[in-house]
């Protein structure tokens, strides 16, 4: 295996709080271990525009607390074609970058996997997404912060919901994963969560009404995961208006507020540990794995597993929400 002297780092896909802490950790660990490190801007796009800057320790000063990503991010269409990836590889060679650390979600790690296979270069992935939908890690960078944002928002919505005796559907992010909706509901004491992982043949609204979610309460909050499978919060509000006109119903779509803000302590520590572990993995000749955390231990997860396998929602969490919302 050829010696690695220089590591490139990029953030790709949707930004997530804690990405900066990860960039800092990758940069400083690389330098600590005698490697050069280059920041690639705007995700994979930087490999097309050559927006690449050599980083020293000061380039990542004062960023651990910042949301977003100082490297910027993008979803890059060119990188999805073989011709595009060839250009990206040429740029890496010209920039003397021997290994890549990709911080991002499902789509970004899929790109890293294909790139690594085509050109036999070491790529290490870090799970950076608020959705928490990558298999093989208990948490992804940004998930905890997003959950706290949801919790604080729902706390506020509850004040007005209670005052008006209203039913609120609050739509949260997660793409096709229900982690934010389910755990957000538990954390904020919401009455229910509608998530894509539930059996799609079951009418979740009917279930809620049947289970008497409004029997003992005048106001209710239901978190809905945005997804084509659930249909989103508006869909449920419309149905309630038509089918249960006695309920005074409102919708809040939290949207991109969930992606911003200062990372929580948990996300900063997670990102720092995973970033340092990415460099350890490179020094250890590991390649084409995502670094995850399981039972508080660092684990290497092959890209194929991290991306392809559906991360299961724990039935126990569903039970907790159901039990506590009586």
Q: 167-172 and 36-40: which strand pairing?
A: unpaired
Q: 192-194 and 289-294: which strand pairing?
A: unpaired
259 binding ligand F6P? (CB under 6 A): yes
Measured from the CB atom, the residue of 164 and 309 that comes closer to ligand F6P is 309
Q: Enumerate the H helices of 33-105 as residue ranges.
A: 46-49, 82-94
User: In angstroms, rounded to a whole number, what is the distance separating the alpha carbons of residues 31 and 45?
Assistant: 25
105 binding ligand F6P? (CB under 6 A): yes
Structure tokens at 33: 């271990």
Kindly state the smallest distance separating residue 182's Cβ from ligand F6P, in Å.
14
Per CB under 6 A, which of residues 5..24 are in contact with ligand F6P?
A: 14
From first CA to last CA, the distance across the chain in angstroms is 60
Tell me whether residue 131 is one of the annotated catalytic residues: yes
72 binding ligand F6P? (CB under 6 A): no
How many Cα atoms occupy the beta-carbon half-sphere of 8 within 13 Å? Answer: 31
Q: Quick one: DSSP state of residue 1?
A: -
When computed from its CA atoms, the radius of gyration of the chain, rounded to whole angstroms, is 21
Binding mask 25-44 for ligand F6P (x = CB under 6 A): --------------------
| Span of 26-34, 60-68, 129-137, 161-169 interacting with ligand F6P by CB under 6 A | 129-137
Tell which one of 174, 232, 275, 292 touches ligand F6P (CB under 6 A): 174
Tell which one of 52, 173, 190, 194 touches ligand F6P (CB under 6 A): 173
282: helix, strand or coil: helix
142 binding ligand F6P? (CB under 6 A): no
Kindly state the smallest distance separating residue 28's Cβ from ligand F6P, in Å.
27
Per CB under 6 A, which of residues 187..246 are in contact with ligand F6P?
A: 226
Q: 292: closest CA among 99, 113, 126?
A: 126
Catalytic residue selected from 15, 98, 131, 133: 131
| Span of 45-53, 170-178, 185-193, 301-309 interacting with ligand F6P by CB under 6 A | 170-178
259: helix, strand or coil: helix
Tell which one of 121, 130, 195, 270 touches ligand F6P (CB under 6 A): 130
Structure tokens at 201: 């043949």
**CA 165 to chain CA centroid, nearest Å:** 34
Residues identified as active-site:
131
State the residues that interact with ligand F6P by CB under 6 A. 14, 105, 129-131, 173-175, 226, 259
């Amino acid at each position: 295996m050829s010696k690695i002297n220089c590591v490139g780092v990029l953030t790709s896909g949707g930004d997530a709080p804690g990405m900066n802490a990860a960039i800092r950790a990758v940069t400083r660990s690389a330098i600590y271990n005698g490697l050069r490190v280059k920041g690639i801007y705007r995700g994979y796009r930087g490999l097309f525009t050559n927006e690449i800057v050599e980083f020293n320790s000061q380039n990542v000063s004062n960023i651990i607390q910042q949301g977003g990503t100082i490297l910027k991010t993008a979803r890059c269409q060119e990188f999805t074609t073989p011709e595009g990836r060839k250009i990206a590889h040429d740029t890496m060679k010209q920039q003397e970058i021997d290994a890549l650390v990709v911080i991002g979600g499902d789509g970004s790690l899929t790109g890293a996997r294909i790139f690594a296979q085509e050109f036999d270069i070491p790529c290490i992935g870090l799970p950076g997404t608020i959705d928490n939908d990558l298999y093989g890690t208990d948490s992804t960078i940004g998930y905890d912060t997003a959950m706290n944002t949801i919790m604080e928002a729902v706390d506020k919505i509850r004040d007005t919901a209670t005052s008006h005796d209203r039913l609120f559907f609050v739509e949260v992010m997660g793409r096709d994963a229900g982690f934010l909706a389910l755990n957000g509901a538990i954390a904020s004491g919401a009455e229910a969560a509608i998530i894509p992982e539930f059996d799609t043949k079951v009418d979740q609204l009917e279930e809620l009404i049947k289970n008497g979610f409004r029997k003992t309460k005048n106001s209710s909050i239901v978190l809905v995961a945005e997804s084509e499978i659930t249909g989103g919060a508006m869909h449920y509000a419309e149905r309630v208006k038509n089918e249960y006109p006695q309920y005074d119903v409102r919708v809040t779509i939290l949207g991109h507020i969930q992606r911003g803000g200062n990372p929580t302590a948990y996300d900063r520590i997670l990102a720092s540990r995973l970033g340092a572990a990415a460099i350890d993995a490179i020094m250890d000749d590991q390649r084409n794995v995502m670094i995850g955390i399981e039972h508080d231990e660092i684990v290497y997860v092959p890209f194929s597993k991290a991306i392809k396998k559906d991360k299961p929602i724990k039935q126990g969490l569903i039970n907790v929400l159901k039990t506590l919302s009586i």
